[in-house]
Amino acid sequence: MTRMNMFSANRDGYAAVRGLEEHVRSAVPDDLYEIVKLRASILNGCSFCTDMHSRDGLERGMPAAKLFGVAAWHESPHFDARERAALRLTDSVTRLAADGVPDDVWDEAVRHFPQAQVGELVLAIATINVWNRIAITTRLEPKA
């Protein structure tokens, strides 16, 4: 059962996170946006966000096999080198190691994206991690 409604309980804070979400939604290409959001949600075990981004990806016309493949992207044939770089960055930012994001992960990202786009990806990854923490903490449930 949901513990609280963050929108009602903390409108200003919710609006701030929503503003960041709107920014990254407009700055990150659709093909990367959903797989990054879905991957971080899977890693964090966020049922609400995993469900939402799976549904959103399907609604945006992403192939189901690609969405299913996000869970095991290392072995999946459905991702190109650019998408793999974004997914690898997502894994590293979501599960920060003691030394942060490894240089090889960062270097791979900047080989595939201009610096500004890498910055937008980092913001998108950080934002979904905030949403995951809100959803898990407040026990948001996926749509039936």
The separation between CA 102 and the C-alpha centre of its own chain, rounded to angstroms, equals 19
Task: Provide the pLDDT for residue 109.
Answer: 98
Q: Would you kindly state where each structural domain of the chain is located, as residue ranges?
A: 11-138
pLDDT range class, residue 72, cuts 50, 70, 90: very high
Task: Provide the pLDDT for residue 8.
Answer: 82
pLDDT range class, residue 24, cuts 50, 70, 90: very high
DSSP string, 4-34: --HHHH-HHHHHHHHHHHHHHHHHS-HHHHH
Write out pLDDT tens, residues 112-138.
999 999 999 999 999 999 999 999 999
Q: What token pair was written down for 110?
A: 């900047």
Q: Could you give the angle at which helices 30-44 and 47-59 cross, rounded to 10 degrees?
A: 160
Residue 104: C-alpha distances to residues 4, 68, 74, 121, 138 (Å): 41, 26, 16, 16, 36
For the structural domain made of 11-138, what CATH number should be given?
1.20.1290.10
Cβ–Cβ under 8 Å, residues 96 and 116: no
pLDDT range class, residue 83, cuts 50, 70, 90: very high
- pTM value? 0.94
Write out pLDDT tens, residues 40-67.
999 999 999 999 999 999 999 999 999 9
Non-local (6+) Cβ contacts of 49 within 8 A are: 37, 40, 41, 128, 131, 132, 135
